[in-house]
Structure 1
């Protein structure tokens, strides 16, 4: 990890711009194509990319499964769940407190906890681990929503957009120097989610 704070700021701005374009696109498959292209460009060329500097010249880009609308959900957040608190150690943000603020039920797949990143500014965080983890996808799991970092697919607490085609591995999947919050039991599905970004080649 050799990126500067200004590089990280620019990375987050570009990620936020990318997701803004995704939310504005009415054709979900086209939105996904834009996301794949934008994420590939950032991973391959940006100074704050989690891909190690020495590997970027030979990096072929992320492997992403074809879009499957069956894995796109617009679901309410159950905000009546009992509160929980976790503390996650990260490489860039120190110890990050996470507070459970709800739970999503994804038809045919199961439930995922919704976390609030309880630091300055805050944000919604929904990580995911499933039957593909450690096989087709990163063993530590993937992120679906991380609004602090700009990964926001839109919606409201009554109709939150949770599109698993946009699941992506955290930075530690690319470089062990990173420390990332990973999914716990409440964010683990027994079934497979074969869409989204797959394991780095």
Structure 2
């Protein structure tokens, strides 16, 4: 992994937060338009930003991200079911030490359940990864991220009214582009037994360092 400056990471985080703020503002009236905005914005960041997970030597030839067209049937507003047994997930990483998560609840989707994790360290945040049956073929083998609120990936909703859970916004973690990154991957409770034809697909050829 190429060294990235702290200020580059700060700028990346700010841009991601701003992008999702625009997505939330538009998604109430036009979810498909919000998805188009998100796909274009994320593509621009991954192709050009200094903190992109795509290695610098590969960015010039990077063809851009690949997204499935928006499917409105995969957007849900769901309550988090808090009736879960206590569970802790500790993920060792190369840059952030051991990253701890606590199981906060569960989302009951028509196609399967997804665990909701709370980042149990400074800043906190909801984390919902997802791994579908197409992982390793059409989608990234380690799974994708749906919500990661501490880093800005927040589609909206509330505790009272339910979280917006839109599988069209599933995106690849940084380790999909460079294995030098260490990413929390989808545990068993975030694995679906069906294919999810939505969101970002596997990175295009030439984008990944082996």
Q: Same fold (TM over 0.5)?
A: yes
Counterpart-to-counterpart distance in 2, 1:12 and 1:150: 7
Tell me the equivalent position of 2:115: 113
In structure 2, which of residues 192, 196, 204 is the aligned counterpart of residue 193 of structure 1?
A: 196
Tell me the equivalent position of 2:187: 184
1:28 aligns with 2:31: yes
Tell me the equivalent position of 2:170: 167
TM-score, with structure 1 as normaliser: 0.97
Counterpart-to-counterpart distance in 1, 2:159 and 2:201: 28
- Which structure 1 residue ranges, 5 or more long, are not aligned? none
Q: CA deviation at 1:5?
A: 1.1
Q: CA deviation at 1:157?
A: 2.5
**Aligned residues of 1:91 and 1:180 also touching (Cα < 8 A):** no
- Which structure 2 residue ranges, 5 or more long, are not aligned? 205-210
1:155 aligns with 2:140: no
Q: CA deviation at 1:6?
A: 1.0
RMSD: 0.8
Tell me the equivalent position of 1:16: 17
Aligned residues: 200
Q: Which moved more, 1:150-159 or 1:115-124?
A: 150-159
Counterpart-to-counterpart distance in 2, 1:128 and 1:179: 17
SS of 1:101's equivalent?
Answer: strand
Tell me the equivalent position of 1:3: 4
